[in-house]
Amino acid sequence: MQAKGLSRKQVLAELKKIRRRDQQYDDGKILCSMCTKPHPMAIKAYRLFLTSNLGDPGLFPGSVQLEEEVINELATLLHGKNCVGHLVSGGTEANLLALLAARNMAHVNAPEVVLPESAHFSFTKICNLLNLKPVYAGLDGSFRVDPLKVEKCVCQRTVAIVGTAGTSELGVVDPIEKLSPVALEHKVWLHVDAAFGGLVIPFLADAKLNFDFALEAVESITVDPHKMGMAAIPAGGIIFRDRKALDCLKTETPYLTDQYQYTFVGTRTGAAAASTWAVFRSLGMEGFKKVVGNCMKTTRLFAEGLTSAGFKLVVEPTLNIVSFRSNHGTKRLAEKLRQQGWFVSYVPRYDCIRIVVMPHVKKQHASAFLKDLTRIEKL
């Protein structure tokens, strides 16, 4: 730290200069991210609640109200009744809380969790932290977890089965409706990681995908407002069907305004609740359908453009994620794209390139990318 403070003007000028090094969503070059430019109202709401801390809820009853209302709206969207939950730091913490509750409810020695091979890498961290043994179930030909393989992995030590509604790499939706009877039969907790898909699937025009609390065995769902909810980071969401789950997460906070905390993170911003709340209020169902509809239209533009340029899609997109391969080295192509300023993900597991068509990715960006792709491939 320097001896004396600088003027606001100087500090801001320095920050602005450094900020220019960051990529901007508006450029339409970020095709690898599940986050996006927050909705303008999310930004305004965030500023308004910047100093609020849900870690000490007795001080911020207004923020608590917003969190409760957001959790209720998410639960209703996911066909839940009387659900409980919290806004947390992201999908990782949401998945962590779900498996912590499942593990603590089960009371078994050497606990295991059955995960799809396609599960997000957050589960690797979580298994490590919670001392859970991950048991991976294989996928079917369309990269969805195979329920028969899941059933074979279940044993006395299984504390939870996980399904993903919108996998990180391909955006496919596991057959949760087929995992539900397996979970019921073996009396095992079913957790759905809908971090990405939870705010896409309910707004799709045609697809009827059962993945939520309408299915009897589903005990918890991760759904992240800071992904397709266009809220400001950090806004993850964990929803539980039953209040009992929260008892397993309860930690006494003897000298705070409230007696207990239920999240892993202690101090957490109320601005997350405010920004999510503001987006929900501003868009409503109609607005979200429009946003998702546009993302799906742009997804189809990518898919059609890629196919007609001779690239192979790994799967037909279900959600707003496109994955493709090149006949001339996919990894190399991903590197060349990056050198030319296009940020795409290279997915080693499937040797493919992933494009996440978030709200900041517009039609004109898809056209520009497709035009550039053929040139870049030849480099």
Token reading at 337: 């794209």
Q: Tell me phi and psi for residue 91, to 5 degrees.
A: -65, -30
Binding residue for ligand 0PR, selected from 120, 178, 268, 360, defined by CB under 6 A: 120
Nearest residue to 273 via CA among 131, 130, 62, 108: 62
Q: Among residues 137 and 377, whose Cβ is nearest to ligand 0PR? A: 137
Map residues 5-44 to x or -, x wherever contact with ligand 0PR holds by CB under 6 A: ---------------------------xxxx---------
Q: Establish if 164 lies at the interface with ligand 0PR (CB under 6 A).
A: yes
Q: Among residues 231 and 303, whose Cβ is nearest to ligand 0PR? A: 231
Q: Among residues 103 and 226, whose Cβ is nearest to ligand 0PR? A: 226
Q: Among residues 120 and 241, whose Cβ is nearest to ligand 0PR? A: 120
β-pair type (112-116, 251-252):
unpaired
Token reading at 232: 């400001």
Q: Among residues 57 and 91, whose Cβ is nearest to ligand 0PR? A: 91
Residue-wise burial string across 127-164, b where 16 or more C-beta atoms lie within 10 A, e elsewhere? beebebeebbbebeeebbbbbebbbebbeeebbbbbbb
Binding residues for ligand 0PR, total number by CB under 6 A: 17
Token reading at 28: 């339409």
Q: Establish if 229 lies at the interface with ligand 0PR (CB under 6 A).
A: no
Binding residue for ligand 0PR, selected from 83, 160, 195, 217, defined by CB under 6 A: 195
Q: Establish if 112 lies at the interface with ligand 0PR (CB under 6 A).
A: no
* DSSP type of residue 264: S
Cβ-based neighbour number of residue 309 at 10 Å: 14
For residue 183, the SS3 value is: helix
Q: Among residues 34 and 97, whose Cβ is nearest to ligand 0PR? A: 34
**Shortest approach of ligand 0PR to residue 358 CB, angstroms?**
9
Instruction: Determine the Cα–Cα distance for residues 164 and 36; give it in Å rounded to an integer.
Output: 21
| Integer angstrom CA distances of residue 227 from 8, 25, 241, 333 | 33, 13, 22, 27
Give the footprint of ligand 0PR on this chain (CB under 6 A).
Answer: 32-35, 90-92, 95, 120, 122, 164, 168, 193, 195-196, 224, 236
